[in-house]
Amino acid sequence: DQQVKQNSPSLSVQEGRISILNCDYTNSMFDYFLWYKKYPAEGPTFLISISSIKDKNEDGRFTVFLNKSAKHLSLHIVPSQPGDSAVYFCAALTQGGSEKLVFGKGTKLTVNP
Amino acid sequence: DAMVIQNPRYQVTQFGKPVTLSCSQTLNHNVMYWYQQKSSQAPKLLFHYYDKDFNNEADTPDNFQSRRPNTSFCFLDIRSPGLGDAAMYLCATSGRTGEDQPQHFGDGTRLSIL
């Protein structure tokens, strides 16, 4: 019973265009969301996060949007670069509870030159 | 410069033969986590230590144990590995649980079972 779902296993975009990675969750107790990026043969690295009290958080080329009513978040990368090619994991937690990170299965992004 | 170091990167063991995976950190973080990740699956938390307090996930098999002898080191022991235990094992740390403490991951140990 997946509480965090990334329904697109893969996404391919052209360099310079926007990449949009989507994530849905089912547990309404989740109140903090994170995106991790993973290159082959490396561990996941933290990219950006958002608290449920916000609907947008931006860091350079990366923006995360949260729609609480739809239980949906998305990561926008603009402009996309070939070095962004990686697997992106969405994760969620409930603060003040177990604070356990629950991950999605990941979306493999390929940015073509 | 590595902050969370996992050894070895690749481990091969025989069915039923105990194996230990190791994780060390230079961040002086209070919390250390072990995840199991199978191919095309989400990382799944096995257990975590908050300082010396051990927190086991309800669905972690009894076959999996952990030790944290000091702040810097944490070990994952698999007592009798089965074929289904072949996976990537990821160690992570954080300063404490909570939103302002994203977890820092090591590069993982890929475990194969013969």
Residue A72 corresponds to which amino acid?
H
Cα–Cα dist B92/B54, whole Å: 15
Name, in order, each residue with C-beta under 8 angstroms of A66's C-beta and a sequence gap of 6 or more.
Answer: A33, A50, A52, A54, A55, A56, A72, A73
Residues of chain B with pLDDT below 70 are 1-2, 96-100
- In this structure, which long-range contacts are made by residues A56-62, counting pairs with CB atoms below 8 Å and at least 24 apart in sequence? A62/A35
Over residues A36-53, the pLDDT tens digits come to: 999 988 999 999 999 999
Beta bridge partners of B36: B44, B89
SS3 B27: coil
Structural element, H or E, at residue B47: strand B44-50
Give the best residue of A33, A99, A102 to mutate against chain B (max B CB count within 10 A). A99
HEC assignment per residue over B85-96: HCEEEEEEEECC
- Please state, in angstroms and rounded to a whole number, the distance separating the CA atoms of residues B40 and B18: 26
In this prediction, residue A96 carries a pLDDT of: 67
Q: What are the DSSP calls for B59-94, one per residue?
A: TS-TTEEEE-SSSSEEEEEESS--GGG-EEEEEEEE
| DSSP SS3 for A83 | helix
Burial class (CB in 10 A: 0-12, 13-18, 19+), B72: middle
Shortest CA gap A104–chain B (Å):
5
Residues of A with CB under 8 A from a CB of B: 2, 4, 9, 32, 34, 36, 41-46, 49, 51, 89, 93, 95, 98-106
| Nearest residue on chain A to B96, alpha-carbon basis | A99
What pLDDT, on the 0 to 100 scale, is given for residue A2? 82
Beta strands in A1-79 (DSSP E): 4-5, 10-14, 19-25, 32-38, 45-51, 56-59, 62-67, 72-77
Single-letter residue type at A94: T
Phi-psi label, residue A16: left if phi above 0, alpha if psi -120 to 50, beta otherwise:
left
**What confidence tens digit (pLDDT) does each residue in A93-105 have?**
887 656 688 999 9
- CB < 8 Å to B41, chain A: 105
At B12-31, the pLDDT tens digits run 999 999 999 999 999 999 99
